[in-house]
Each structure stands twice: as C-alpha cells, then as structure tokens.
Amino acid sequence: MVLGKIIRKIKNRASTLTNRIYYYPYLTCSGANIIQERVHIRDFNVKNKRLSILLANSAKIYHDVILQGSGKILLGENSFIGSFSVIGSNESISIGKNVMIAQSVSIRDTDHNFEDLSKPMISQGIITKKVEIKDNVWIGYGAVITKGVIIEEGAIIGANAVVTKNVPKNAIVGGVPAKIIKYRE
C-alpha cells in the first residue's frame, strides 16, 4: 500500500520533468490558461509577418495541437482546441467564447493558388481569407473549416464535415461538403 503511493509519486514527478516550457514571443495569454504537452507553434514569418496567438481567460489547448502560419489566431474565453487539431493562419482566425473544438479538427484561412496552368502549383503562392467562429459553437471530431468561412453563434458542425460556406446561427451542419441538417430550437 505505502510502496504503491511512493511509486505513484515518483511517476508523477518524472512526468513533470519531461514537460518543457518555451518562450514564444508571439503567444499572449490573458488570465489562467491550460496548454498541454507537445503543442507545436510554427511561425512561418512570411513577408515579415509573424504569427500572433492570443489566448483569452480560461482557454485550453490540449496535447499534440499544431498552431502555425504568419497570421493571427485568437482563442476566446473558456474555449478549447482538442488534441491533434491543426489551426493554420496566414491572415486571421478568430474563435469566440465557449467554443468546443473536438479532436483532429483542421481550421485554415489559406489555400494554394492553382489558376495558372503554365506554372507549377507550388510556385503560384497562396490565397487567404479570414475565418471567424462566433460564440457557443461546437465543432465535431475531424471537421475541416476552410478559408473565408464564418460560423455564426450557436452552430454545431458534425463530425468529419467539410465546411466551405458560412454557417447560419444555431444551424446544425454535416457532410462533405457540409449542408444544413436542421436548426437548434
């Protein structure tokens, strides 16, 4: 019994020793936040633009999340980003208050340009358009939110949905591409 407690204490201390704290000049936290282990922040520094991340009070980022780009990412008060999600911003991604983002979600404000058939796609640059997710939204497991989308307050995005168009207030959407299934009442 006592030996079990001692072993647990040693394990807990060992696990805290493996977590590393890094200084990110482009990360600003407001109030008490939780950022779990293995969260990767990748600053692309495109055309002297640096990634800027703002976490409001009680925002949470769970393990193995990737935040990347050269734009702005705002995570609102009491919102969270689930494990293995990727948020890629080269312009602006704004996530409101009380937003639940499940695991393995991808939110990006950028696409590759591919219009000129005479040039390789890799040489054509990117197209950006800001993404806005309003308050009290739930984004289900594996969903993809593409550039230029506005998700209005109270909406629910179904698991594995691909959202390419704006989502109205209190709408429940799902599918590929996402379509309105019904409205919350």
| Residues with catalytic function | 112
**Exposed/middle/buried for 3, CB within 10 Å: 0-12, 13-18, 19+?**
exposed
Contact assessment for residue 113 and residue 125, using Cβ atoms and an 8 Å cutoff: yes
Of the CA atoms within 13 Å of residue 184, those in its CB half-sphere come to 16
Measured over the CA atoms of residue 47, residue 50, residue 51 and residue 57, the dihedral's sign is negative
Q: Which residues contact 95 (CB under 8 A, 6 or more apart)?
A: 73, 74, 75, 76, 79, 81, 101, 107, 133
Backbone φ and ψ of 29, nearest 5°? -115, 140
